[in-house]
Amino acid sequence: MAFTSSLGRDARFWREELAVAVAHVEMLGRCGIVDPAESESVVAGLRGIAADFAANGVPVDGGDEDIHALVERLLGEAVGPSAGHLRTARSRNDQVATAFKLYVRRATTDIWAASLDLFEALVGRAGEQGDTIAPGMTHLQVGQPILLAHHLLAHAEALRRVCRRCAFGLDSASELPLGAGAMAGTSFPIDPEYVARRLGFRRTCNNSVDAVANRDFVVEFLQLCSLAAVNLSRLAEEIVIWASQPFAAVVLPDAWATGSSIMPQKKNPDVAELVRGRAGTAIGRLAGFQATLKSLPLAYNLDLQEDKQAVYGAEDDTLAGLLAMTGLVANLHFRSDRLAEIAAMGASAATDLADYLVGKGVPFDRAHSAVGALVAELERQGRDLASVDLKTLRSIDQNFDERALERLDPGWAVRARTSPGGTAPVQVRAQVESAQGWAGSERQRVQAALPNLPLD
């Protein structure tokens, strides 16, 4: 029946399907459940199917209900009656749970690598910026001057957390379901530990009912993609804002922007806008699949088949968004003069003036009020804080002296923030070096996590 057929969706994880089948049949032979010679014949047949799929694609128009039925049919054509051993001591329930866990592990590793690419792009651009000053914003208003590199590294930190969640997701999907059967286990003397080692799982299941019912690993993958999309949307939104004419702080590369169908002067940030928009879709997928799981009785129900579309969409959008933002960040042109100009707006030196008074023994609440009153008066006069002289400063508090005037320089404010993780150049350089070192070791972890499927 076409409505219940899932072959079109299943075809995407054919490698994992065949890898699980190979490991399972190998185990049957090793345990003496199947004659070792027949086991070898079936394994050879499965690898032949894998080679054919790799060369010609998965035939989805043969009337097979799902990937399991397709493999069983093709295996029967290849090796004859011995193909029937494939179904010994396993069910489609534990088979699909195992194969799809492997697929989610591979997708997670791909997202991990792509997140690291964007992390390195942000760190690389940060390392190029030197002492370029940018506005540090709160409530989308200028708060304090910071280094542009510091701001880029803040976005890199979000990507670092995505990478950590990828590692967590791999561990969550590292429990082998195979051996659970339909849901009660099997009477055959199987060796799930062998299958786990063969496929790269870290442990076997504790409970056969849970093993086939569990789709927490799918939810966690969707959470990973959702949070990655949200973090990407924050970066994308800032690029949209900074590229707008009122800000004019960045120039979009032509390949990552489009023109208008009617306004010849337009250069629209379409790539960033799409990345921003797809965050909503990612959140919807997560909520939707959790709604599918809500109140679902144990153990297996065909509702679980809906996990495929949710994962595929999340995987595709997340990888595309990471790739697009990596290219955009790598090619974005920052207008350092305009960034410095914006950073000086909004009386951004006010905090440093208040801190100066505190250093003279003035309680912070009094210093805060005095400088706040000065800023308000300057706004009424249409003046900027940078225009004040010592006489004006001393009119609000006699503790001000000549040294206070240097606090009006955004560069001084940046250099003064030497606390760990702060925006001072010495701290930012250390952050760049640390991030570069972390990326190198993280790349090794990604390589070590790549799946090694027994299909050769």
DSSP characters over 319-380: HHHHHHHHHHHHHPEE-HHHHHHHHTSTTTTHHHHHHHHHHTT--HHHHHHHHHHHHHHHHH
Apex CA 154: angle with CA 325 and CA 447, to 5°?
60
Apex CA 148: angle with CA 146 and CA 152, to 5°?
115
Q: Which residues contact 434 (CB under 8 A, 6 or more apart)?
A: none
Q: What's the CA gap between 275 and 324, in Å, rounded?
A: 8
Using DSSP's 3-state secondary structure scheme, residue 253 falls into coil
Positions of the chain with pLDDT lower than 50, given as ranges = 264
Rg (C-alpha) for the chain, rounded Å, is 30
299 prior amide bond cis, ω within 30 = yes
Short-list 446, 448, 420, CA closest to 434: 420
150 near 423, Cβ under 8 Å? yes
Using DSSP's 3-state secondary structure scheme, residue 308 falls into helix
Q: Which residue has the tokens 């899932």?
A: 6
Q: What's the CA gap between 21 and 67, in Å, rounded?
A: 12
Using DSSP's 3-state secondary structure scheme, residue 141 falls into strand
Short-list 213, 136, 211, 123, CA closest to 163: 123
The gap from C-alpha 420 to its chain's centroid, in whole angstroms, comes to 26
Q: What's the CA gap between 77 and 353, in Å, rounded?
A: 83
Tell me what pLDDT residue 426 has: 97
| Cβ neighbour number for residue 42 with a 10 Å cutoff | 26
Tell me what pLDDT residue 163 has: 97
Q: What's the CA gap between 32 and 100, in Å, rounded?
A: 27
Q: What are the tokens at 66?
A: 């799902």
Tell me what pLDDT residue 264 has: 47
167 near 130, Cβ under 8 Å? no
* Domains annotated on the chain, with CATH: 7-88 (1.10.275.10), 102-177+209-339 (1.20.200.10), 350-408 (1.10.40.30)
Angstrom CA distances, 83 to 34, 38, 239, stand at 11, 9, 57
Instruction: Please give the positions annotated as active site.
Output: 139, 260
Q: Which runs of consecutive H residues, i.e. helices, occur in 129-188? A: 148-172
Tell me what pLDDT residue 389 has: 83
Helix or strand run (H / E) with residue 99: helix 92-128
